[in-house]
Structure 1
Amino acid sequence: MGISQYDPAAVGRTAWNAGKQVGAKRALKIRQIWSIRFFLDREGRMRDRALFDLAIDSKLRGCDLVQIKIGTLVAGGAIRARSMVTQQKTGRPVQFEISADTRASLLSWLERRGGSVDDYVFPSRVNVAGHLSTRQYARLVDEWVIAIGLRPEEYGTHSLRRTKASIIYKATGNLRAIQILLGHAKIENTVRYLGVDVEDALALAEATEI
């Protein structure tokens, strides 16, 4: 059998996924969430703590998270308990809660950051009028997980998006609620995203007495 001219090996090129872990990134566990928080607090990384907390609560994709503006989170000098953004990928609006811990870290950051309601919550380092890039956000996530002894190959920005959704699913088994929180158009997407399998379904069934 010959080698296709489109095979990277035929021209000595390395495949794009060579040596990389391909597939869904792992969600963080509760103790890992707190380990990252302790690390960020110890290092005095106020912006990163606010970014991390908001990423967990909002369950947003990185492209939507970095583009949040102050006015989306703030009302009357206080951080909202709930907010809403329109997803860039789907054009669908999605609501999210902002927990007390997240409101506190956001308020501390915004008091230091300053700015108006039209400014981005997390500004760019190179362009004051711009926002933090998704690439820089990904680098920060790598730093955070490495700092607590995790492998960056196994975690990424999507780990933060799926963390709270996974915790809620394990506690309730309510896929429809997770679909709404993640802003998925189809529940099949939610099933694949969470990695729900037969074992999950059987575990829920076994825990139900009739």
Structure 2
Amino acid sequence: MEYVNPIKNIDEIQLIKEILKKQSSRDFVLFVLGINTGLKINTLLSLKINQLVDESGTIFSFLHVDNQTIYLNDQVKSALTFHLNQNKTTIDDYLFKSPKSELPISRQQAYRVIHDAARKAGIDDQIGTHTLRKTFGYHAYIKGIAISLIQARFHHASPSETFRYIGMDATDQKIDVNL
């Protein structure tokens, strides 16, 4: 398995979002949901619309999956609304349904979507499906979320494992109380 990196630059994230939004609402919501929840790609691909939206079309504030409760922020809700308005779906459909079947897209297809969008955005770094999760972890930590909470979300054994996973090391840690 090839090592991939998080996307640390916010401008690059925005550019990928713009590219994917023009390309496919499904691919756009895959990226947005991935970088805002930190869920594994297999979990994302197995999501059904009824796990995120009720029968009246109201998007839930929390997703309950894999014994976790995941907050769905405004970015996710906006992307979901865009996707659902663009497509004819039923509540029982997979969120990331393949156009060729009733099943979700494959992990390989998800990789191609993310990797190709990164290349179109001019990102030469190693990018893949784990990039979504790593990007979530990196930016959560940068915004002040305790590494222990990110570690718990990722089911990692130690904080050092999580630091490595999100592309940081001990020298990157900055403690500034700014009193």
Work out whether the TM-score is over 0.5: yes
Runs of 4+ in 1 over 4 A off after TM superposition: none
Q: For the pair shown, which has the larger CA radius of gyration, 1 or 2?
A: 1
1:27 aligned to 2:7? yes
Q: Name the structure 2 match of 1:148.
A: 121
The equivalent residue for 1:60 is: 39
Is residue 106 of structure 2 the alignment partner of residue 133 of structure 1? yes
Cα displacement (A) at 1:94: 2.6
**TM-score calculated relative to the size of structure 2:** 0.85
CA pair 44-188 structure 1, distance change in 2 beyond 3 A? closer
Q: Normalized against structure 1, the TM-score is what?
A: 0.74
Is 2:78 aligned against 1:99?
no
Deviations 1:77-124 (A, max 9, x none): 2111221211xxxxxx23322221321221221233333332201112
Letter of the 2:69 partner, please give it.
Answer: Q
Q: Does 1:160 align with 2:125?
A: no
Instruction: State the shift of 1:173 in Å.
Output: 5.9
Equivalent residue, structure 2, for 1:39: 19
Instruction: Provide closer, same or farther for how the CA distance between residues 24 and 137 of structure 1 changes in structure 2, counting only shifts above 3 A.
Output: closer
Task: Give ranges in structure 1 of 5+ residues lacking alignment.
Answer: 1-16, 87-92
Distance 1:105 1:185 in 2: 32
The CA RMSD over aligned residues, in Å, is 2.4
- Where does 1:162-201 land on structure 2 (aligned, <5 Å)? 162-172=134-144, 174-184=146-156, 186-201=158-173
In the alignment, the residues of structure 2 paired with residue 117 and residue 184 of structure 1 have an alpha-carbon distance, to the nearest angstrom, of 33
Residue 52 (structure 1) shift: 1.4
Q: What are the within-5 Å matches in structure 2 for residues 76-115 of structure 1?
A: 76-86=56-66, 93-115=67-89
Cα shift at 1:58: 1.8
Instruction: Give the drift of 1:208.
Output: 4.3
Q: How far is 1:209 from its partner?
A: 7.1
Pairwise CA distance, 1:183: 3.9
Q: How many residues of Structure 1 are paired with residues of Structure 2 in the alignment?
A: 178
In structure 1, C-alpha distance between the alignment counterparts of 2:108 and 2:42, rounded to whole Å:
10
Q: Quick one: higher RCO (CA 8 Å, sep 6+), 1 or 2? A: 2
CA contact (8 A) 1:50 1:102 kept: yes
